[in-house]
Amino acid sequence: MKHKGKVWFITGVSSGFGRELAKEVAAHGDKVIGTVRKKEQVQEFNDIAPGITFAHVLDVTQRADVISVMQKTYKQFEQLDMVVNNAGFGFLGAIEEASVVEVREVMETNFYGALHVTQAALPIFREQKHGHFLQISSVAGFRGTQGFGVYNASKFALEGFSEALAQEVAPFNIKVTIVEPGPFRTNFAGPSIKRADDHIDAYAETAGAFERAMHERNGKQDGDPAKAAEVLWQVVNSEDPPLRLPLGQIAYEAVRTKMRNLENDLWKWERTATKTSFET
């Protein structure tokens, strides 16, 4: 039966951003279909707002399963308004330390998982002539950081395809917003983060320094995920939501710093780098 409010599909709702956003959305009366990885997490999520929040066990790396759950959602509610690609995890280690297997594991969830969910929702959004993707990236998807390169790569990939997607689907009244959070007080830097198995002492003062700082700041981050959820609610209900949304003061500062550095490089090298055309 069609719902008067919006119907949301949010991946990764067992904790952190996904959980807080689901609670915020449910508090406003919108239906929330959330995905979790374990069966024991289903009832816990359903109990957040009985009759409003509904959990499905889903591994976003399994394309066929993603399509099945998405179709079940649409069949049950006869609409789909918001899709939030939130499932993912962090990965620490210098580029040289990361094995190909480890890199692929990160990409399977952070990039391909989001791609699977996006592609599964697109036919529904196109048919409806409306929909909105919230792609939960990171400030690490805009700026590379020593010791975080593999995670950077997964989020740069997410942002690249999302930026192209926004142009492709604009004629269908489908919106895309790339969310770039800075540090928030979730379990991202705690139990859920992974590290390269290999360890090379030569990177102790670069990649290693970043890793130590992340662990030291864990639990002390300035960002409040509940307030972030409130901001996202305001954004999706605005008339002109942005393509990119840095989230938190640290994220804004990081984005501005990189933009200034890029602008400086452009000015410094423009005369040299633009001398590449055929003579006429």
Residues known to be catalytic: 137, 151, 155
Residue 258 lies in a domain: no
| pLDDT band per the 50, 70, 90 thresholds, residue 1 | low
Q: Which of 2-11, 17-26, 35-44, 71-80 has the lowest mean pLDDT?
A: 2-11
| Whether residue 3 has pLDDT greater than 90 | no
CATH number for the domain spanning 204: value is 3.40.50.720
Residue 267 lies in a domain: no
Mean pLDDT of 36-59: 96
Residue 264 lies in a domain: no
Q: What is the spatial distance between Cα 122 and Cα 138, in angstroms, rounded to a whole number?
A: 23
Domain count, the chain: 1
Q: What is the dihedral of CA 164, 166, 167, 172, to 10 degrees?
A: 140
Residue 145 lies in a domain: yes
Residue 70 lies in a domain: yes
Structure-token pair, residue 271: 């005369």
Residue 168 lies in a domain: yes
Mean pLDDT of 157-169: 99
Q: Tell me which residue range forms the domain holding 241.
A: 7-253
Residue 278 lies in a domain: no
Q: What is the spatial distance between Cα 235 and Cα 245, in angstroms, rounded to a whole number?
A: 9
Task: Provide the percentage of residues in the chain whose pLDDT is more than 90.
Answer: 89
Mean pLDDT of 237-265: 97
Q: What are the CB-based long-range contacts (under 8 Å, 24+) for 156-164?
A: 157/107, 157/110, 157/111, 158/85, 158/110, 158/111, 158/114, 159/135, 159/244, 161/115, 161/118, 162/133, 162/135, 162/137, 163/243
Q: What is the pLDDT of residue 102?
A: 98
| Whether residue 4 has pLDDT greater than 90 | no
Say if residues 228 and 20 touch (Cβ distance below 8 Å).
Answer: yes
| Whether residue 128 has pLDDT greater than 80 | yes
Residue 277 lies in a domain: no
